A and B are shown apart, each in its own frame.
Chain A
Amino acid sequence: MNEALLSAHGLGRRFGERWIWRGLDLAVGAGERVALTGPTGSGKSLLLRALSLLDAADEGEVRFLGRPIEPQAVPGFRAQVVYLAQRPALADSTVEEALRSAFAYSIHKGRRFDRERTVRLLGALGREAGLLGSPAKGLSGGEGQLVALVRALLLEPRVLLLDEFTASMDRDAAERAEGLVRDWLDAEAGRALVLTSHDPSQLDRLATRRADVRGAA
C-alpha cells in the first residue's frame, strides 16, 4: 500500500462513559477512495470531524503524511484536507461572496478566486452563472450542498472528507455532484476521498474500499 496520506492511530471518542469508537486505526493512502460504513449512530460523521481535527479526540491521534499535526499547522492541514459537513453553512451574503470568503484567509494567501472556473463548476452541476448573485440564505438544502461542494473544490484540496454530501439533492444533481468529485480525483494523482453516504449505490460508484468504523482498517 502507498504511504498513508491521512491516518488515524488508536483514535477514541466517547460521550460520558460510552465509547462511540475506540482503538480506531485508519490509513488513507494517496489515490484511495474510502467509504466509511457502520449503522446509524456508530459515529461515522464524528470520525470525519475528528479526521479534520474539528473535534478533540479522547484518545489517539491523527497524522498527515505520517506526522502528527502541530497546533499552528492545523489551518494549513485543513486547507489540504477539507471536510464538508452534511448541513452546509454559508455566510449571510451572495453566493459569490460566500465562495470568495475562503480566499481571504491567510492560509490561502497568494490564491485568487477564479470566477470563470466557478462558473464552469456550477455549469457542470447544471446551475446558471446567475446563481452567484443570489443570496446564499435563500438556497434550498440541495443547492446549499452544491455551493459548499464548489467552495471546497475551488480550494483544490488533496483530501476531501464528505459527510452525506448529496443527502439533500435530487437524483440529477447528486449524479452531477458525484461526477464533479470524480473529475477532481482524476485531475491529479494522489488525491484521496473519504465519504459517508446512506445510499449504498453511491458508495459503489465512488469508493474503492470500505472501512467499518466499528472495526476500522
Chain B
Amino acid sequence: MNPGYLQISLGQLALAAGLLAVNLGLSFALKLGIERRLVVAAVRMSVQLLLIGYVLEWIFALDHPAPVLAVALAMAAMAGSAAVKRTSHRFAGIYWDSLVSVLGAAFLVSGVAFAGIIRVEPWYEPQYVIPMLGMVLGNTLNGISLGLENFMEGVAERRGFIESQLALGASRWEAAHPEIRRALRVGMIPTINSMMVMGLVSLPGMMTGQILGGVRPADAVRYQVVIMFMIASATALGMFCVVLLAFRRLFDAQHRLRTDRLVVASGSK
C-alpha cells in the first residue's frame, strides 16, 4: 500500500537525532552545562511521542467510542489542570472550575462541529476527533488561563475601587462587571491576532501536517479554517465560563469581595 507520503524508519529517526549534535556541541564548547537536560528532554520527547503513536494506532484499530472518549477526557483533564498551573493566584475549587470550563466548552463546540459541520461518520471516528479535539483543548486551555489570570489580577489590583462600589450599594454583579468584561476582552485578543496573520506570517501546524500527509493544499486550508473557528468559539466559551465561576467564588452571596480566598500560587513569578 502506498500511503501517499514517505515513511520514516527507526534508522532515519536515529539520523535525525544526530542533528542534536549542534546543541550538544554548543553546550560543550561554551560550557553551557545543559547537556544532561538536553538529552533527557530529547529522550522524553521521543519516547512520549512514540508511545502516543502506538496508543493512537491501537485506538484507531479498536474502532469503538469508549477508548476515544477516555482519551478525550484524559486530554481535557490535563488541559484543565495545565490552565490553572499557569496562573499566579489560586482559590479553593479553581481546578474544578477550570476542568468544568475546558470540558464544557471544548466538548460542546467540538460536538457541534463534528456532528453538524464536518459530519464525521461515525461520530467518534478517532482520525478526526482526537487531533481536532486536541487542538481545541490546547487553545481553550490558553484562553482559560488567560481569562482566569486577568480576572484574578484585576480583582486583586482594583480591590479598593470594587469595594467602594459595593459600599455604595452596588450588587456583586454590578461591582464585578467591569472586571469580567476586561478579562474577556483581553483574553480574546490572542485568537483575533492569530487569525489576522494566519497564512501570512504563520503556516498553521495542522494544515502543514495534512499537506505532508498528502492532502491537497486547497482541502487542507479548509480544515484549518474550520478548526480556527472552532478554536475561537471554544476559547471564548471556556473563558466566559471560567470567569463566571471564578466570579462566584470571589464575590459571595452577601455581595462581598472575598480577596481573602485568593492566595498567591507557590512557584509563580
Give the distance to chain A from B158, nearest Cβ to Cβ, in Å: 8
State in angstroms the CA–CA spacing of A31 and B165 once bound together. 26
Which of A74, A82, A102, A152 lies in contact with B254, CB distance below 8 A?
A74
Q: Which 8 residue pairs spanning A and B have beta carbons closest together?
A: A79-B169, A89-B160, A89-B161, A107-B169, A89-B164, A71-B253, A74-B255, A102-B168
Residues of the A chain whose Cβ atoms lie less than 8 Å from the Cβ of B257: 54
Across the interface, A155 reaches (CB within 8 A) one of B166, B169, B174, namely B169
Q: Which residue from chain A places its CB closest to the CB of B252 in the assembled complex?
A: A56
Contact A75 B171 (CB under 8 A): yes
Cβ contacts A to B, 16 pairs, < 8 Å: A53-B254, A54-B256, A55-B256, A56-B260, A71-B255, A75-B170, A79-B169, A83-B167, A85-B163, A87-B160, A89-B160, A89-B161, A106-B174, A107-B169, A107-B170, A152-B168
Q: How long is the Cα–Cα vector from A164 to B258 in the complex, in angstroms?
A: 23
Given contact pairs A54-B163, A54-B166, A106-B171, a sample of 11 additional A-B residue pairs in the complex whose CB atoms are under 8 Å apart: A53-B255, A54-B167, A55-B256, A78-B169, A79-B168, A79-B169, A85-B163, A85-B167, A105-B165, A105-B174, A152-B168
Asked whether any CB of chain B lies closer than 8 Å to the CB of A191, the reply is no
CB distance from A83 to the nearest CB of B (A): 4
| Whole-angstrom CA separation of A75 from B167 in the bound complex | 8
Residues of the A chain whose Cβ atoms lie less than 8 Å from the Cβ of B253: 71
- Bound together, the chains give a CA A90 to CA B257 distance in angstroms of 17
Q: With the chains together, A71 CA to B172 CA distance in Å? A: 11
The answer for the CA separation of A101 and B174 in the assembled complex, in Å, is 11
Could you list which residues of chain B lie within 8 angstroms of chain A, going by C-beta atoms? 158, 160-161, 163-171, 174, 252-258, 260
In the complex, chain A residues whose CB is within 8 Å of the CB of B260: 56
How many residue pairs link A and B with beta carbons under 8 A? The number is 76
CA distance A89 to B255 in the complex (A): 18
Cα–Cα distance between A155 and B256 once the two chains are bound (Å)? 20
Find chain B residues with CB under 8 A from A151 CB.
168
Contacts of B252 in A (CB 8 A): 56
In the bound assembly, the distance between CA atoms of A107 and B258 in angstroms comes to 21
Contact between chains at B170 and A56 (CB < 8 Å): no
Contact mask for chain A residues 66-78; partner B; CB cutoff 8 A; 1 contact, 0 none = 0000010011101
Question: Does any Cβ of B come within 8 Å of A91's Cβ?
Answer: yes
* A102 and B166 contact, CB distance less than 8 A: no
Residues of B within 8 Å of A76, CB to CB, are: 169
Chain B residues whose C-beta falls within 8 Å of the C-beta of A56 in the assembled complex: 252, 254, 256, 258, 260
Q: How far is A152 from B168 in the complex, measured between Cα atoms in Å?
A: 7
Residue of B nearest to A72 (CB): B253
Chain A residues near B166 (CB-CB < 8 A): 54, 75, 78
> In whole angstroms, what is the CA distance A199 to B158 when docked?
29
Closest Cβ–Cβ distance, residue A150 to chain B (whole Å): 12
